[in-house]
């Protein structure tokens, strides 16, 4: 745990450094002006000095601004990935994503819709950019720098399959996505809904999404204290969703097993990746989830054999 906490504090330290430089910049500007006034006996002589030494025109304030930019870039690099690994042995392959791969190869825009409840919406994150759909979008754009990739967040807190099916057409299918990432099942567990009925609704939804011509990745519930309190229902839900994904030949991201490995396999306490409500992920949890999901998507896209020359910006999958 010490490794994770120390590493994740790095962006905060960098951001604080940025703030410090910004606060100090006016003071640096004042000092620079005072020193210039004392050193130059007249405006004419100062102009002559400046013209004779153009390399010395950079003020302390300018240097401070340059340092702000440097530190900000460093903070952004740190935030691009987190120290996060997949469960030992690795997850099963997600399968191919032919529609996304074809769009990337053709150089056409790619639209991904993140469909789900509060953990898709981003409850528990400290900023919209730290939600999993935004983190995923940033990762895919870094990996395919020449591609036009959009990830729309269609998460709505408190919902599960019955409510999601009511807005599936208008908020997902009508947008003509190339891929849908459907996170479902958590609220059904918490509300004691029948896992078999949820699985049936999800299967119907998958059929509609496939008929619309989109790739699909199913995401099961999170492993957290609130979900674990309904252990029997949670276990049934996870198994049934995995079965549906297998039967319908769609991608499956085993979030439950990934998060369980954080806690049991990697000895991370729940507070390392879950907020105080015992249910929703924190910034690190969303980052790792998005990162592993993105790695699987990239790997699956790279496995497509289209029989055409792939542009240089459509890169092969590289392990973490």
Instruction: Give the Cα separation of 296 and 93 in Å (integer).
Output: 7
pLDDT tens per residue across span 27-47: 333 333 333 333 334 444 333
Report CA-CA distances (Å) from 224 to 18, 67, 183, 243: 35, 41, 15, 22
Instruction: Give the Cα separation of 277 and 271 in Å (integer).
Output: 10
8 A C-beta contact, residue 153 and residue 131: yes
Question: Is the domain covering 98-302 a CATH 3.40.50.1110 domain?
Answer: yes
Instruction: Give the Cα separation of 273 and 130 in Å (integer).
Output: 13
Q: What pTM was computed for the model? A: 0.72
Query: How many Cβ atoms from other residues are within 10 Å of residue 47's Cβ?
Result: 11
Predicted pLDDT at 64: 56
Residue ranges of domains in the chain? 2-80, 98-302
What is the end-to-end Cα distance of the chain in Å, rounded?
20
8 A C-beta contact, residue 126 and residue 163: no
8 A C-beta contact, residue 143 and residue 104: no
Predicted pLDDT at 85: 81
Kindly give the confidence (pLDDT) of every residue in the chain, 320 residues in length, as a single tens digit, with 9 standing for 90 and above: 444 444 444 444 444 443 443 333 333 333 333 333 333 344 443 333 344 454 555 565 555 555 544 444 434 434 577 788 877 765 555 777 999 999 999 999 999 999 999 999 999 999 999 999 999 999 999 999 999 999 999 999 999 999 999 999 999 999 999 999 999 999 999 999 999 999 999 999 999 999 999 999 999 999 999 999 999 999 999 999 999 999 999 999 999 999 999 999 999 999 999 999 999 999 999 999 999 999 999 998 886 644 333 444 443 323 22
């Amino acid at each position: 745990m010490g490794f994770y906490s120390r590493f994740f504090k790095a962006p905060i330290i960098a951001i604080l450094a940025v703030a410090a430089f910004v606060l100090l910049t006016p003071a640096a500007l004042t000092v620079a002006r005072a020193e210039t006034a004392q050193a130059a006996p007249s405006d004419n002589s100062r102009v002559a000095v400046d013209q004779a030494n153009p390399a010395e025109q950079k003020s302390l304030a300018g240097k401070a601004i340059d340092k702000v930019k440097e530190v900000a870039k460093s903070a952004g690099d740190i935030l691009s990935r987190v120290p996060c690994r997949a469960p030992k042995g690795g997850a099963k392959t997600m399968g191919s994503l032919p529609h996304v791969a074809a769009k990337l190869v053709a150089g056409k825009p790619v639209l991904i819709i993140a469909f789900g409840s509060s953990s898709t919406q981003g409850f528990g994150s400290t900023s919209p950019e730290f939600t999993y759909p935004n983190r995923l979008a940033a990762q895919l754009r870094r990996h395919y720098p020449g591609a036009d990739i959009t990830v729309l967040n269609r998460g709505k807190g408190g919902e599960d399959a019955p409510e999601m099916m009511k807005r599936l057409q208008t908020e997902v299918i009508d947008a003509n996505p190339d891929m849908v990432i459907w996170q479902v099942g958590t609220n059904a567990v918490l509300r004691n809904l029948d896992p078999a009925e949820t699985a049936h609704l999800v299967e119907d939804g998958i059929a509609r999404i496939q008929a619309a011509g989109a790739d699909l990745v199913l995401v099961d519930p999170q492993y957290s204290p609130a979900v674990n309190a309904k252990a029997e229902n949670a276990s049934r839900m996870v198994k049934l969703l995995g079965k549906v994904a297998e039967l319908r030949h769609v991608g499956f991201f085993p979030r439950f097993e990934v998060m369980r490995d954080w806690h049991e396999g990697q000895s991370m306490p729940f507070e390392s990746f879950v907020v105080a409500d015992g249910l929703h992920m924190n910034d690190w949890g969303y980052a790792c989830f998005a990162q592993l999901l993105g790695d699987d998507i990239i790997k699956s896209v790279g496995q497509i054999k289209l029989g055409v020359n792939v542009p240089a910006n459509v890169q092969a999958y590289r392990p973490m």
